[in-house]
A and B are shown apart, each in its own frame.
Chain A
Amino acid sequence: MCGIAGIIHKGKSTNVGGEMQKMLQSLKHRGPDSTGYALYGNGESNNYILRFKVGENVKEGSSAVKEDESIYQERIEQVNKKISTSGATLHKEEQITPYSYRYVISYDGDLLDLAKQIESVEMTEILSLGKSLELIKDIGDASVVADQYDLGDFAGTHGIGHTRMATESGVDIRSAHPYWAYPFSDVSVVHNGQLTNYWNNRRALEKKGMRFMSTCDSELIAVYLADKIRNGIELEESMRGSLDDLDGVFTYLVATKDKLGMAKDHMAAKPMVLYESDDLVALASEEVAIRTVLPQEIDTYDPYEGEVKVWQA
C-alpha cells in the first residue's frame, strides 16, 4: 500500500517538520515499516547539507545484516578523508544515530564527483546533498523517526514524506523513501504504487551512468527524473514524460528547492487527495492526513488520471 504526503507554503517558512510528522503519522496504517521525510529548510549560509549513513538500522523487524557498530567509526574517518581530498571543507559534523550523520560542507566542484568519492566508502550512502533539502528516513513510524532525528521543530517552506509497507524489497533504510535524485542537489521523490518495467528502465539508465542504491522500484522515478534534468529537460516536462515511459500504477510527489509537484498515472489506480488555497497546498494519499494540519472543513478533490501539477514555494 504505502502512504505519501506533501505540503508547500507559498512564500512563507513554517514548522514544516511538525506538519509532516502529523500527516505521516496519520498514514501509519498504510505503511508501518519505515518512514521518510524530505524537508526543505532555510539552509546553512549557502553551504551544502549532507545527510548520509554508514550502516543500517538493524533493530527488530529490519532485514539488514547486523554489523559491529565499531566499524562505523572507521567508515566515518574514510568519509572525512574523501571529503577533504575532494576539495570540500567540512564546517559542521553531527552524529544523529550510530549510523547516520548530518554534515555542513562548502564545495565548488562537481557534485557527482564528490558523491562518488563519498559513496566509494563501503556501506556508505548519501541520503541527500543540497542547500535546503534534508532527507531523513529510518525504520519505524513517523513519530519514532521524527523523535530520533529531532524533526518536530524543523522550519522550512515545504516537504514530502512517505510511510512504507515493504512489498518489493527489504525493510531497511536503503529501500525506504524518499529518494534523492542523485546527483542533483535538492531534488527528492516519494512514490505510492508499483512499476512494472523497472528492470528495463534501470538497465537503460545504468548504461547511461546513472546510479541505483537499492532494488526498490520507487528509486527508478528519482533516477529517471535526474537523467531528464541532466539532459536539460524542465521538471514538469520530465514528469509528463514519466507517465508514458514508466509502466504500472503510481502516484508520486517530487520536490525541488522551491517547488513541489505531483504526477498520477493514466489508470489513476493510486489515490491522492489535494487541497489548495492562496497560502498553501497540501496533498496526501488520504484526506485524513490533510485534516491533521487543516482540521476545519475544507474543499478537496482527487486529481484525475494522467495529471501533473507543480507548485512554487
Chain B
Amino acid sequence: MASIKKHKSAEMGLHDEVLTGRTQQVFFNPEEGENFFYHDSYKVDFNKRTEIDANNIECIDINRKINELMAKGYGTIVIKNPGSKHSIGVGILNKLNLIIEGSLGYFGIGSVDGPVVRISGRVGWSCAENMMAGKVVVEKNAGSCFGAAIRGGDLICKGSVGARSGIDMKGGTIIVGGDAGAFTGFMMQRGRIVILGDVGPNLGDSLYDGTIFVGGSIKSLGADAVEAELTDLDIAWLKRKMKVAEIEKKIDYKKITKIVSGKKLWNYDNLEPTERKGAI
C-alpha cells in the first residue's frame, strides 16, 4: 500500500482554525510565517520603486510590463493614468506593492496571489475575481461582482459596491464601507463579508456557508440565509479587521447583524435520494 504523502498545504504551515460557526476557513499561523513562500515567485525589494504610464498602452502590455519589472526586483510599482481600462493587474502571483493612481475597468486585479494593491479611484465589475491571497484597497466605489469567487485575502472597498458582491466566494474577507446591492454573498461557500452600510434584496441567497455582517439595513434575505447571534468573538474579529481595512468610521458593533446559512439548499434537498447521489 502506497504511503500517504504529507499535503503541500501542511508543509507550507496551513492549519484549520475551529470557529463557532460552520465555516472551516483555513488561516495561516503568523508564527509560522517563515514557512510561507510562493513557488517560482520573484524576489522583490519593496524599496525598489518604479512607475508605468498606462496612457496609450493596452492592458496586456501593462500586465506584461508589471511581470518584467517584478523579474527585475521592483517591489513597488505605480500605475499612472489607468483610464478605467479593463483587466489591469491580472495574474500577479507574487508579493508586490502595487499602487493604481486612478480608476480601473472590469476584471481589475483578478486571479492574484499575494500582492498588496491600493486603488485611488473606482473599480468596475468583478474586481479581484478569484483572488487567492493579498490585500486590495479601493478608495471609491466598485461595480457588481466585487470579489467574485475569491479564495483568500482581504478585499476592501471604502465606498459602495454593486450587486452580487462575494458571489461564489470560497474564502477570504470582503469589507465594504458603504452600501451593497442585490444578491450580496450569492452562493457564498466560505469566508466573511462585512457591509457597514445598507444591503439590497436577497442577501446571502443560496448561501452554503460563510458569514455576512451588516451594519445598516437589510432589504430582504435570500433563500437559505438566516440571522445568527453576534458573539464577542465576532466583535473582536470585526474590530481587528477594521484596522486591516483602514476604516476609521465609528461603528456600533453591537448593532451589526450576523447572517449565516440556514442550510436549506432548496435545489439539493428537493432531489430524490438517488438523484442526490448523482449531485454529490
Chain A stretch 255-313: residues in CB contact (< 8 A) with chain B: 266-269, 271, 273, 286-288, 290-291, 295, 297, 299-302, 304-305
- With A299-B122, A302-B162, A305-B201 given, is the CB distance from A286 to B181 under 8 Å? no
On chain B, the residues within 8 Å of A291 by CB distance are 83-84
On chain B, the residues within 8 Å of A268 by CB distance are 144, 162-164, 181-183
On chain B, the residues within 8 Å of A269 by CB distance are 163
B-contact bits for A173-216, CB 8 A (1 contact / 0 none): 00000000000000000000000000000000000000000000
B140 within 8 A of partner (CB): yes
B151 within 8 A of partner (CB): no
A302: shortest Cβ distance to chain B, in Å?
4
Asked whether, in the complex, the Cβ of B181 is within 8 Å of the Cβ of A305, the reply is yes
Asked whether, in the complex, the Cβ of B182 is within 8 Å of the Cβ of A287, the reply is no
Asked whether, in the complex, the Cβ of A287 is within 8 Å of the Cβ of B105, the reply is yes
A302–B105 Cα distance when bound, in Å, is: 12
A222: shortest Cβ distance to chain B, in Å?
26
A90: shortest Cβ distance to chain B, in Å?
46
- With A267-B163, A268-B163 given, is the CB distance from A286 to B106 under 8 Å? yes
A291–B55 Cα distance when bound, in Å, is: 12
B215: shortest Cβ distance to chain A, in Å?
18
B182 contact from A273, A300, A304, Cβ within 8 A:
A304
A286 contact from B102, B105, B163, B183, Cβ within 8 A:
B105
Asked whether, in the complex, the Cβ of A305 is within 8 Å of the Cβ of B85, the reply is no
A288 contact from B85, B102, B120, B200, Cβ within 8 A:
B85
B177 within 8 A of partner (CB): no
Asked whether, in the complex, the Cβ of B144 is within 8 Å of the Cβ of A299, the reply is no
Give the B interface residue count (CB, 8 A).
27
Asked whether, in the complex, the Cβ of B200 is within 8 Å of the Cβ of A273, the reply is no
A290–B143 Cα distance when bound, in Å, is: 15
A305 contact from B103, B125, B182, Cβ within 8 A:
B182
Chain B stretch 80-120: residues in CB contact (< 8 A) with chain A: 83-86, 102-103, 105-106, 120
On chain A, the residues within 8 Å of B200 by CB distance are 304-305
Q: Apart from A268-B183, A286-B86, what are 10 other A-B pairs with CB-CB below 8 Å?
A: A268-B181, A269-B163, A286-B106, A287-B84, A288-B85, A297-B102, A301-B159, A301-B160, A304-B163, A305-B201
Q: What 9 A-B pairs are tightest by C-beta distance, nearest first? A: A268-B163, A302-B162, A287-B84, A305-B182, A301-B141, A288-B84, A304-B181, A302-B143, A291-B84
Q: What are 29 inter-chain pairs, A to B, with CB distance below 8 A?
A: A268-B144, A268-B162, A268-B164, A268-B182, A269-B163, A286-B86, A286-B105, A286-B124, A287-B84, A287-B103, A287-B122, A288-B86, A290-B84, A291-B84, A295-B83, A299-B141, A300-B103, A301-B141, A301-B159, A301-B160, A302-B141, A302-B143, A302-B144, A302-B162, A302-B181, A304-B163, A304-B181, A304-B200, A305-B200
